[in-house]
């Protein structure tokens, strides 16, 4: 039981860290070309973390938690802070990543 809980906490922490890294790679460009690194990482990460959580927990309901963590991080990153900081600006890569990952929920 403790092993399952600890494994789940580790997977959720890794999912949150992965989502934070994806947010910072959204504006990645090679010259004028926008590179879809965040979209690819979001798809691969959510598939991997969902599968890992299912293996650890043995149930479908906990397997959805990495997607919920991802949405929480992405959603919070799109809201401006009182200081005016905004991590996700309106752009095609952020919209594509959100649409692709909503399919996993």
Predicted confidence at residue 36, as pLDDT, reads: 80
Predicted confidence at residue 12, as pLDDT, reads: 95
What contacts 96, CB < 8 A, 6 or more positions away? 36, 39
pTM: 0.77
Low-confidence ranges of the chain (pLDDT < 70): 84-105
Helical ranges in the chain per DSSP H: 2-25, 37-57, 60-63, 65-77, 92-102
> What value does the mean pLDDT of the chain take?
82
Predicted confidence at residue 6, as pLDDT, reads: 94
């Amino acid at each position: 039981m403790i092993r399952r809980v600890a494994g789940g906490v580790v997977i959720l922490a890794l999912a949150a860290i992965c989502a934070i890294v994806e947010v910072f790679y959204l504006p990645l460009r090679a010259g004028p070309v926008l590179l879809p690194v965040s979209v690819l990482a979001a798809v691969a990460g959510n598939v991997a973390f969902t599968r890992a959580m299912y293996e650890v927990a043995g149930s479908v309901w906990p397997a959805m938690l990495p997607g919920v963590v991802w949405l929480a991080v992405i959603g919070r990153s799109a809201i401006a802070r009182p200081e005016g900081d905004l991590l996700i600006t309106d752009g095609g890569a952020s919209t594509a990543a959100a649409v692709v990952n909503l399919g996993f929920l």
